Amino acid sequence: MTAQILDGKATAAAIKSDLTTRVEALKARGLTPGLGTLLVGEDVGSQKYVAGKHRDSQQIGVNSLQRELPATATQEEIEAVVRELNEDPSCTGYIVQLPLPRGIDTNRVLELMDPDKDADGLHPTNLGRLVLNQPGPLPCTPEGILVLLRRYGVEVNGAHVVVVGRGVTAGRPLPLLLTRKSENATVTQCHTGTRDLPALLRQADIVVAAAGVPHLVKPEDVRPGAAVLDVGVSRDENGKIVGDVHPGVRDVAGWISPNPGGVGPMTRAQLLVNVVEAAERSLG
């Protein structure tokens, strides 16, 4: 079997095309959305992701506000930029690129953000809204994964989804989305401390690998015909992305997200959805 490709690049392009029309409508009502980003440090991967987010936003007519601080920035310097973005009316939504350098209290930074401008859906208020089933911005990677599965007709209702990883941007919030009544999946949350991970993976209709461990999910761990999504963004010595899913899984799975070109572009597209929706909400 050769898996059908869950093409995140093409799906993201379709989402961006729809958003362009909504941005034009916002502009006609006097509001140009502006996406702010705060990048702290010089991590090459983070720099690429932030550059991609601004490239995308410019493509759909959203203004860019880029803030950068060196890796040596203090908690107070980072929080000062967050306060500035909270106050700036031209910034209608923003993100703090994660991870922040070691020694910085990430939760304190996220908590300081204006929840109405939180384009990542990672502010405690917005994560709380998700738990309570109330409307609000959804975390971009989990929602991007769901949109991709829907677009390719992968059945989520009643499916057993095994999520590997417990990071705040993907693994931790994804089960919250999948177990809503509207999605109706059953989720097993695994992580690097899970005993006999292969035995659990083999039970899955859908595998989401978000542990940051290169080639963690091997062909023999996957049930033939399962859908496999790769969130891993480790890099080899040449800076090339190495995902959490072994390339041989393509020959066993029914669907697979390429990496690059799968979940990454969907994360960026969902960020723009959150920015446009926040701007629409602000106009009432």
Binding site for ligand LMY7XDAE (CB under 6 A): 48-49, 52, 95-98, 120, 140-141, 169, 233, 241, 259-261, 264-265, 267-268
- Is 165 flagged in the annotation as binding? yes
- 118 versus 183: smaller Cβ distance to ligand LMY7XDAE: 118
Q: Closest distance between ligand LMY7XDAE and the C-beta of residue 191, in Å?
A: 17
- 52 versus 214: smaller Cβ distance to ligand LMY7XDAE: 52
Helix (H) / strand (E) element for 67: namely strand 63-69
Q: Closest distance between ligand LMY7XDAE and the C-beta of residue 198, in Å?
A: 26
- Is 166 flagged in the annotation as binding? yes
CA-closest candidate to residue 209, choices 184, 192, 185: 192
Q: Closest distance between ligand LMY7XDAE and the C-beta of residue 243, in Å?
A: 9
Distance CA 77, CA 74 (A): 5
- Is 167 flagged in the annotation as binding? yes
- 7 versus 183: smaller Cβ distance to ligand LMY7XDAE: 7
Distance CA 249, CA 51 (A): 31
Distance CA 179, CA 156 (A): 10
Q: Are 231 and 141 in contact (CB under 8 A)?
A: yes
Residues serving a catalytic function are: 53, 97, 120
Which is it for strands 206-209 and 227-230: parallel, antiparallel or unpaired?
parallel
- 37 versus 200: smaller Cβ distance to ligand LMY7XDAE: 37
221 DSSP 8-state letter = G
Nearest residue by C-beta to ligand LMY7XDAE?
A: 264
Beta carbons within 8 Å of 21's beta carbon, 6+ residues apart: none
32: which 2 tokens?
């140009």
CA 264, 269, 271: angle at the middle one, nearest 5?
100
Annotated binding site: 165-167, 233
Which residues make up each annotated binding site for NADP(+)? 165-167, 233
